[in-house]
Amino acid sequence: MQSLPVPSVQAMVAATGGTDVPPRYLRLGDEAVATDGEAEIPVIDFQRLKLGHGEEMTLLHRACQDWGFFQLINHSVPEDLLEGMKSNVKGFFELPAETKKQFAQERGQLDGYGQLFVVSDDQQLDWADILFLNTQPVQERNIRFWPDQPPDFRSTLDKYSAAVKSIVDFLLVAMSNNLGVDPEVIADKCGTDGIQAVRMNYYPPCVQADKVIGFSPHSDSDLLTLVLQVNEVDGLQIKRNGTWFPVRPLDGAFIVNVGDILQIFTNGRYKSVEHRAVVNTKKERLSVVAFHSPSIHAIIGPLREMVAHEDDAVYKNIDHDEFMKLFFSAKLDGKSFLDRMKRL
């Protein structure tokens, strides 16, 4: 795994609340967490997509261009695997703090329990109950940080991550076809060492839920993110045309976010989605978020096939390694990070 900038003491204290890892919410002040009605979020049926239905392909293309976001009706991950993943994640967060701390992140690394990857004094912390694990490439796994409790946590995450990755691989081929790009182009960027990381989020309830934020507005830095909501508590919101909308996941559906790298690869044709998470006054909320990125050795920049003339490139070319370091040292602030990737 690449090493990250070493966090300042101030950032570390902010990130961990000292030696403990207590829930600690970021107050919003007068900024409201209110949303505005419901949005008709695109729903894509994975089965129909696999069967090559033209309508579903068109829907997918529109969703990526206009929303950067859709729900994916899942027909591929078996129900018992989804349920197993949910119960293992719940089980982990219910363990005593002392037990969870055995899997605490180490400085400069991403894997493990906690928020040490908050490396900038400027990047405010939302809350601290996170377990982040690199799941692909397999040789980059740091099993030392994979909980061995509940007992089948590791084997379940192993199966779940493989199942989710194959959905993403399929979606990237369908998207390439929609864009008129040879699917091999993105496949080559991922190579045999495309990155997948799974972040498990636990948002404790907060009596002043309307005055705090669970996860600050941001877009994901990757190609595609698949989110699984673990319990019945909603909290994810997306921003569309300047307005925040709540997301109510359909039963058995994944939420799919277009990430910044896909926006960059497509030179802005596909748009990453700005989103945030709010919390509940009485109930905790849990989510499992799987991020998918190219190989760490790939160049991040507009694909040649997406740029008619060199001058049309909106974004610069940057090493993935450097891109990640910049991302993890930046403040979570809507889509401002992506703006910094623009050519001058």
Ligand X SMILES: O=C(O)CCC(=O)C(=O)O
Per rule CB under 5 A, is residue 260 in the interface with Fe ion?
A: no
CA-wise closest residue to 105 among 87, 122, 118: 118
Please, how many CA atoms are within 13 Å of residue 95, restricted to the half-sphere of its CB? 22
Instruction: Report how many residues bind Fe ion under the rule CB under 5 A.
Output: 1
CA-wise closest residue to 298 among 272, 324, 334, 280: 324
In terms of CB distance, is 140 or 234 closer to ligand X?
234
- CB atoms under 10 Å from CB of 207, counted, come to 9
What's the min distance (Å) between Cβ of 289 and ligand X? Answer: 4
Give 311's DSSP letter. Answer: G
In terms of CB distance, is 126 or 220 closer to Fe ion?
220
Near Fe ion by CB under 5 A, which window of 82-90, 118-126, 219-227, 301-309? 219-227
**Residue 156 binding result from ligand X, Fe ion, none, given CB thresholds of 5 to 8 Å by partner type:** none
In terms of CB distance, is 275 or 292 closer to ligand X?
275
In terms of CB distance, is 2 or 231 closer to ligand X?
231
What's the min distance (Å) between Cβ of 53 and ligand X? Answer: 28
Please, how many CA atoms are within 13 Å of residue 164, restricted to the half-sphere of its CB? 29
Separation CA 26–CA 33 (nearest Å): 12
What's the min distance (Å) between Cβ of 126 and ligand X? Answer: 10
Per rule CB under 5 A, is residue 45 in the interface with Fe ion?
A: no
**Residue 277 binding result from Fe ion, ligand X, none, given CB thresholds of 5 to 8 Å by partner type:** ligand X
Separation CA 261–CA 248 (nearest Å): 26
Kindly tell me the burial class for residue 194, based on how many C-beta atoms sit within 10 Å of its own C-beta (0-12, 13-18, 19 or more): buried
In terms of CB distance, is 74 or 201 closer to Fe ion?
201
**Residue 199 binding result from Fe ion, ligand X, none, given CB thresholds of 5 to 8 Å by partner type:** ligand X
Residues forming the site for ligand X (CB under 6 A): 199, 201, 215, 220, 227, 236, 275, 277, 287, 289
Residue of minimal CB distance from ligand X?
A: 287
In angstroms, what CA-CA distances link 38 with 151, 250, 255? 40, 14, 16
What's the min distance (Å) between Cβ of 257 and ligand X? Answer: 7
Per rule CB under 5 A, is residue 220 in the interface with Fe ion?
A: yes
Pairing of strands 130-136, 112-113: antiparallel
Separation CA 42–CA 242 (nearest Å): 18
Is residue 189 within 8 Å of residue 295, measured between CB atoms? yes
In terms of CB distance, is 24 or 301 closer to ligand X?
24
**Residue 111 binding result from Fe ion, ligand X, none, given CB thresholds of 5 to 8 Å by partner type:** none
Give the tokens for residue 247: 């997301």
What's the min distance (Å) between Cβ of 218 and Fe ion? Answer: 6
What's the min distance (Å) between Cβ of 229 and ligand X? Answer: 7
- The angle that helices 153-179 and 183-190 make with each other, rounded to 10 degrees, is 140
What's the min distance (Å) between Cβ of 67 and Fe ion? Answer: 15
> What does the binding site for Fe ion look like in residue numbers (CB under 5 A)?
220
